[in-house]
Chains A and B, each alone.
Chain A
Amino acid sequence: MFPGTTILDYLFWMGMGVLQVLVIAGAYEWLKYYKKKVAWWQMAAMYGCFLSFCLVVAGGTTLMGEYESHGGYYFIGYLGVPHVIIMAILVKLFVFKKAKA
């Protein structure tokens, strides 16, 4: 990741790992705040979608890094928009679901 360094590279990826703990803990805190109950597999599906979106962004920027900016923008545009839509659907289905009568 950081060219020519043997330390920063690993620190960066460790930092990315730590951030994931915060993302999940933060999500639980928000759910608690709104008193929403979400099953573990629903959380896993939403987190999976988020990670997949991150991969799409990383894929697009990898292409940009390779001097394929055109391909990179299209990659994020074409694959990223479906991710946002799917994420919105998942949040609607799992978080803001209608309370059982």
Chain B
Amino acid sequence: MAEKNEAMDIITDPKNYTKLDQEVNDDPSVDDCANLSRRNFLKVGGVAAAAATLAGAGAAGFKIGRSDDAYTGYGRTYQGGDMFFNREPFRVKTAAMMEPVGKVERPDRYDFIFDRLKEVVGLLQKGEWNPGMGLEKLPGKVGEYYRKYPEKYRIMLDSLEKRAKSREDWEKGKHERYTLPAAYTEALAHGGMYNRYGSTVPEEPDDAYKETGEPQPPEKWDYRHVKREKPMEFKSPKHATDLIKRMAHLFGTSIVGIGKFDPRFMFTNKMRGMPNGGADWGDKVPEHWKSIIVFGVPMYWDQTYSAIGYCTSYDAYFRSRITAGLLERFINELGYPARAQFPGYHYEIMMEPYMLTTGLGEYSRSGMVMVPELGCNVRPAAVVTNIDFEYDEPISVKMSEFCMKCKICAETCPSGAISFEDEPTTVVRGFKRWLLDDEKCYSQWAAGHTVDALGCRVCIGVCPYSRKNTWIHTLSREIEPRDPTGLVASGLLAMQKNFFKYPKGEDFQADWLGGKEAVYHNPPWYLRAEEVFKDIEKTWEYHGMD
């Protein structure tokens, strides 16, 4: 067997020592003394530099991770730099899960949970119905809907009870712990978004209808700020696309895509500005709805990571509404009709399919659209108009494929609303989908420990795609879709599942449901009441990652 030459043996063997005075002076012009000190400097300095490089790399990494600059969707918004993922190599004709597998049906207003709930709560308030009268007596189309899905009806009743309990809890003292996230939420919601009718930013046709009693059909409303006889003519659809995308970024959005308006994804029986929100609108499509500009911003990362209690959607809602309002007005000023579609529920359309058709992202297990830059942490809005654009095509970045293996959101969801099926199997209005059980999800919202007892968002926070814009996540984002073998995705998923800790789904529940009010990440200092106010006794623990 060959003799082993261990590094330490060689270093410690006196035979291998070279006396300093025997060293060869390779540059005769330099005197020995100077040469020696130069050598020693390089020898010692080299080792020190290696150690400093290692320490510097560690320190730089830490700072990059902690820095606000890593909060994707905030840093370079106005220049459009937050939309950093190059979609062009990934363009496809039809996005994953967007190939119809049956007859495509348009969604109806009662397919939207908030329209159902609004109706039920309205009936309760007017005393026209109460749960004691039973499902059979639940009137109108909402009654028809729930009779078709009695299990959903049961969950809806349970949610109403939970919501009442949650509110009671809040009044009895929960508000103390959640003082700061509540103030943040209320500032954005009522200082920024809603007035007495429902909306301040942007203008809302339903408000105009309620104020004047005059119906505001889209043929009137969408042209209301048009002053020109004739719209400005663009040199080409590409010029229109470039300009409007630039303006969308300038008005505050992080991502933007433009597509053809597709009536398949427009609600029936819904039209804001018309009596009853257009409950009798039928399936008409306004003729001037030709193109749709779709855009979105993320919720602030600290709050998203500290869902449920410290998180609010109003943050991103507010900012995406501002873009919608400004863009709507800008387009009107150029002489074209424009109609903003914006959160909370000021839409005639379903946003997700349009995000897919305009190539912003892909459909996910949790039922939301994931975009490469922000994961599921994106709150979209849109403007519909009749400008001719150069349309974006869908993309395939293998996010949906990743979801087939991942399931982290399903494992962490406190309400069990997310499917565990390996592949989507449910046909929803003609498309195969993982179907989010909206009623179950809402039952978690209703039990939430937020100011309005509404919201959860755990699935957004824990998704591996919803990560900050640090080099380590960005590298993963860039490499994974370019790896044809799928090995990178499997490696990343293995790391995600084994290296990272998540609270269990049930831990996120309110204490009265046996949970710990856990958060994924502990809240930042500026959302902890006990850190800034006098006389707040901390009677709770934070059950999240620090």
Q: Which of B62-70, B263-271, B431-439 contacts A (4 or more CB under 8 A)?
A: B62-70
Residue of B18, B61, B467, B468 touching A57 (CB-CB under 8 A) = B61
Please judge, given known A-B contacts A62-B471, A70-B499, whether A20 and B43 are in contact too, CB under 8 Å: no
Contacting pair A65 B50 (CB below 8 A): no
Instruction: Tell me, in angstroms, the Cα distance from A20 to B53 when the chains sit together.
Output: 8
Shortest C-beta distance, A97 to chain B (Å), equals: 8
Asked if A61 and B46 make an inter-chain contact with CB atoms under 8 angstroms apart, the answer reads: no
Kindly list chain B residues whose C-beta atoms are within 8 Å of the C-beta of A38: none
- Closest Cβ–Cβ distance, residue B32 to chain A (whole Å): 15
Candidates A16, A26, A53; contact of B47 at CB < 8 Å:
A26
Q: Please state if A27 and B60 are interface contacts (CB–CB under 8 Å).
A: no
B42, B53, B62, B522: the one contacting A61 at CB < 8 Å is B62
In the complex, are the beta carbons of A67 and B521 less than 8 A apart? yes
Chain B residues in 8 Å Cβ range of A92: 5, 7
Q: Which residues of B contact A35 (CB under 8 A)?
A: 18
Q: Of B49, B60, B522, which contacts A19 at CB under 8 A?
A: B49
> Does A10 sit at the interface, judged by CB under 8 A?
no
Q: Pick from B7, B47, B60, B61 the residue with the most CB of A within 10 Å.
A: B61
Inter-chain contact A61/B468, CB cutoff 8 Å:
no
Pick from A67, A71, A97: contact of B546, CB below 8 A.
A67
| A30 to B47 alpha-carbon distance, docked (Å) | 10
Chain B residue nearest to A35 in the complex (CB): B18
* In the complex, chain A residues whose CB is within 8 Å of the CB of B10: 96
1/0 per position for A21-50, CB-CB distance to B under 8 A? 011111111101111000000000000001
Contact of A33 with B39 in the complex, beta carbons under 8 Å: yes
CB pair A62–B64 under 8 Å, yes or no, is yes
Q: Which residues of B contact A70 (CB under 8 A)?
A: 499-501, 545
Interface size class of A (residues with CB under 8 A): 35 or more
Set of chain B residues within 8 Å of A19, measured between Cβ atoms: 49, 52-53, 56
Closest to A24 in B: B46
Whether the pair A29, B65 counts as a contact (CB closer than 8 A) is no
Check B46–A66 contact: CB distance below 8 A. Answer: no
In Å, the complex CA distance between A1 and B501 comes to 27
Given contacts A62-B471, A66-B65, contact A23 B59 (CB under 8 A): no
* A32 to B: closest C-beta gap in Å: 8
Instruction: Kindly list chain A residues whose C-beta atoms are within 8 Å of the C-beta of B47.
Output: 26
Most chain B CB inside 10 Å of its own CB: which residue of A12, A30, A65, A95: A65
With A26-B49, A66-B70: A61-B61 Cβ-Cβ less than 8 Å? yes
Tell me whether A67 and B545 are in contact in the complex, defined as CB-CB below 8 angstroms, given that A1-B63, A74-B499 are known contacts.
yes
Report yes or no: B63 in contact with A65, Cβ–Cβ below 8 A. yes
Chain B residues, Cβ within 8 Å of A25? 42, 45-46
Chain A positions within 8 Å of B305 at CB level: 67
CB neighbours of B57 from chain A (8 A): 16, 54-55, 57-58, 61
Among A27, A57, A98, max chain B CB count under 10 A is at A57
The 7 lowest CB-CB distance pairs between A and B, nearest first, are: A26-B46, A65-B65, A58-B61, A61-B61, A22-B49, A74-B499, A65-B66
User: Can you identify 12 A-B contacts, CB atoms within 8 angstroms?
Assistant: A12-B56, A24-B46, A28-B42, A50-B53, A55-B57, A57-B58, A58-B57, A61-B58, A64-B62, A64-B65, A68-B500, A96-B7
Q: Which residues of chain A have a CB within 8 Å of any CB of chain B? A: 1-3, 12, 15-16, 19-20, 22-30, 32-35, 50, 53-55, 57-71, 74-75, 78, 88, 91-92, 95-98
